[in-house]
Amino acid sequence: MARRTWRRRLRLARRRIAYRLLFAVFALLRFVPAPLLHEVGRASARLAYVVLRRDRRRMRRNLRAAFPEETQRARDAIARGVFLNVARHGVHVLLAQRRGRVREDPDLPSRADWDELRATFLEKGAIGITAHLGAWEILGCGFTQDAPGRLGVFAHRLRFAPANDWVERLRTMFGIRVFYIDAPILSAVRYLKQKNTLGILPDQDLKRVPGIFVPFFGRPAWTPIGPAMLALASGVPAYCIYCLWEGGAYRLLREGPLPLPATGDRDEDIRIFTETWTGVLERVIRTYPDQWVWFHRRWRTTPETIARLQTEGPKP
């Protein structure tokens, strides 16, 4: 137990050092011109692929399980693309923060694209199910910059408080309302019924969040049931929505409204709806595999993990 505690503290210390270094780099990059900043991003992606060996190994394991038919060379190309996508997304986030707007750059969605999306989602309100895929933060910032206060996001608190504060400042700067997953769901339901949009990124393995196991790339994955609970409780239409890099530019992709099951069995409705949006997400990731965060431990939680947590009960 003592060794496990020591290792956990060491990991936390390393994470804090990494975040502080990252913030220092961000501060310096504020003075770098946009064209050069994109070059720095691409160079950083190539360096990260070489240096971050643990993440690279985890991606290789995940990609081997998800795409067994591909060659190792093809899977490594996907892994390198993941780092490039994260860097490209990060550059656009830094530029948006610097400018105070997601400007109409040639490689970003046009004003007409954002207007069309807002018109659809704000007519009746909507649940926007997205993922850590493509440019997820730009998706939220671009949506709200001309409709502040009309988009809320369900968020997981980052363990390192300064990092959590940085992300929250970015979102609130663009008028995004943040609902943390440990808050009562009723406030989010009320927000939806006021014809607002609520964005959710439920593609990560959060073992202490209510969920169920559903198939994802042929393996059972512990998946949050929040989107299903919100959709069933509010009756607001739900869509899968992404901002994806295609043909040298980002474009908005949406699918929906997703069918809302009504079997008369609440648990069965939750299972069906969760499998529905997870299936849509898997199909999109298979089309754009180099834009999803494969270094995340998506299949970490097992039935044994959940059984142990239920035995331990909530932490005091």
Query: What are the tokens at 193?
Result: 């019924």
Query: What are the tokens at 92?
Result: 């656009």
The pLDDT-based confidence of 264 (bands split at 50, 70, 90) is: very high
DSSP of 198-247, one letter per residue? EEE---S--TTS-EEEEEETTEEEEEE-HHHHHHHHH---EEEEEEEEET
Cα–Cα distance list, 170 to 48, 115, 117, 154, 243 (Å): 24, 21, 21, 15, 18
Q: Is the predicted pLDDT of residue 303 greater than 90, yes or no?
A: no
Cα–Cα distance list, 299 to 159, 207, 272 (Å): 20, 10, 20
- What does residue 110 show for φ and ψ, rounded to 5 degrees? -80, 165
The pLDDT-based confidence of 29 (bands split at 50, 70, 90) is: confident
Of 13-27, 73-87, 206-220, 242-256, the least confident: 13-27
Query: In a 3-state reduction of DSSP, which class is residue 151?
Result: strand
Cβ partners under 8 Å of residue 167, min gap 6 = 155, 158
Q: What is the pLDDT of residue 89?
A: 96
Q: Is 221 left (phi over 0), alpha (psi -120 to 50) or beta?
A: beta
Percent of all residues in the chain with a pLDDT value above 90, rounded to a whole number: 72
pLDDT tens digits, 204-241: 998 778 899 999 999 999 999 999 999 999 999 999 99
- From CA 29, how far away is CA 90, in angstroms rounded? 11
- From CA 72, how far away is CA 69, in angstroms rounded? 9
Mean pLDDT of the chain: 90
pTM of the predicted model, to two decimals?
Answer: 0.89
Which whole number is the average pLDDT over 26-55? 90
What element of type H or E holds 270?
A: helix 266-287
Query: What are the tokens at 222?
Result: 């512990």
**Letter for the amino acid at 137?**
E
What element of type H or E holds 305?
A: helix 303-312
Which whole number is the average pLDDT over 41-48? 94
Residue tagged 């240096």 (tokens): 51
Residue tagged 């042929």 (tokens): 218
pLDDT tens digits, 73-118: 999 999 999 999 999 999 999 999 999 999 888 999 999 999 999 9
Q: What is the pLDDT of residue 13?
A: 73
- From CA 30, how far away is CA 23, in angstroms rounded? 11
Q: What is the pLDDT of residue 313?
A: 58
pLDDT tens digits, 188-210: 889 999 999 999 999 999 877 88
Q: What is the pLDDT of residue 3?
A: 61
Q: What is the pLDDT of residue 316?
A: 45
